[in-house]
Amino acid sequence: MKTQGTVEQQTVYATQDGALIPLEDMPDKVFAEKMMGDGVCIIPTSPQVKCPINGTVKLVADTLHAIGIVSDDGCELLIHIGIDTVKLKGNGFKVKVKTGDKVTVGDLLATVDLDFIQSQGLQTHTALILTNGNKAIPNSFGQTKAGITPVFTYT
């Protein structure tokens, strides 16, 4: 609850089961150097991609590897699945939402064929990025459960 003189922190939850690592450790310079914004990275172990925050789907990339959500408080969050997965042109991805859909934490956004991505010589690291300048305050790094584990907060 917001009180006078304080700023409410919002929580972003894991999109996937896996290992949460600092964004700086992601093997992609654009994300690691925070050129797109602050956030974290998940190395996924399960194919389900779940919603990390309550809001509205703003973007589903034509190549299905990225989903943008605007949170109920106006924060913009990008879920970028894999590194260089734009090259797959949607192969290996099944997106369950469309632009304009209202979503809540834990809703299934997509399924991803992790084995297929890796068979193409690509990495499955998933970036969760605040694209409108908010600062991510990561929780402890380690194992995550999709839609359950808090991964960072922002104000």
Distances in Å between the alpha carbon of 7 and those of 2, 23, 37? Answer: 7, 25, 21
| Residue 65 appears among annotated catalytic residues | no
Residues 118 and 45: their CA atoms lie apart, in Å, by 12
Residue of 26, 53, 29, 56 lying closest to 41 (CA atoms): 26
Residue of 12, 38, 43, 54 lying closest to 149 (CA atoms): 12
The catalytic residue among 14, 71, 79, 80 is 80
Which of the residues are catalytic? 80
